[in-house]
Amino acid sequence: MNDTQNTSQTVPAWFWIVSVAGLLWNLLGVMAFFMQVMVSPEILEAMPEAERTLMLSTPGWAMGAFAIAVFCGTIGCIGLLLRQRWAKYLLVLSLLGIIVQNINAFVIQDSFAVFGPAGTMMVGLVALVALGLILLSVRADSNGWLN
């Protein structure tokens, strides 16, 4: 199939809905990233000691993985909306960022002890959404919806 045929391919409405939802989800992640990076001393002081200690001891490489996760996810979703094949590669990088970030959070720092089961469920949801977006991009590519 050539690019002309690809461009004229009808894309179902659910693809657009899921892509926009994915973009909004990842923008929430970008907001969470900036909230963590730019946290004020007053907010840190108001946190429970265990949460404050955990946040302040997060290594730079884990914050880098967080940045990769949210920014690659956001740009990947924009790529889906633009029907670009490269979106799937950014979405894979996003999931890899999530995995690396969570290795730090749950293996090295033991965030489970601080946040409990609810925090673990959120981490699982984040990973599932990232995986779902990858599967969406692969399906869109195989159906000829991406250029």
Residue 1 has pLDDT above 60, yes or no: no
Mean pLDDT of all residues in the chain? 92
Confidence (pLDDT) at 7 = 53
What is the 3-state secondary structure of the chain? CCHHHHHHCCCCHHHHHHHHHHHHHHHHHHHHHHHHHCCCHHHHHHCCHHHHHHHHCCCHHHHHHHHHHHHHHHHHHHHHHCCCCCHHHHHHHHHHHHHHHHHHHHHHCCHHHHHHHHHHHHHHHHHHHHHHHHHHHHHHHHCCCCC
Confidence (pLDDT) at 118 = 84
pLDDT digits (tens, 9 = 90+) for 84-116: 999 999 999 999 999 999 999 888 888 888 888
pTM of the predicted structure, to 2 decimals: 0.89
pLDDT digits (tens, 9 = 90+) for 129-139: 999 999 999 99
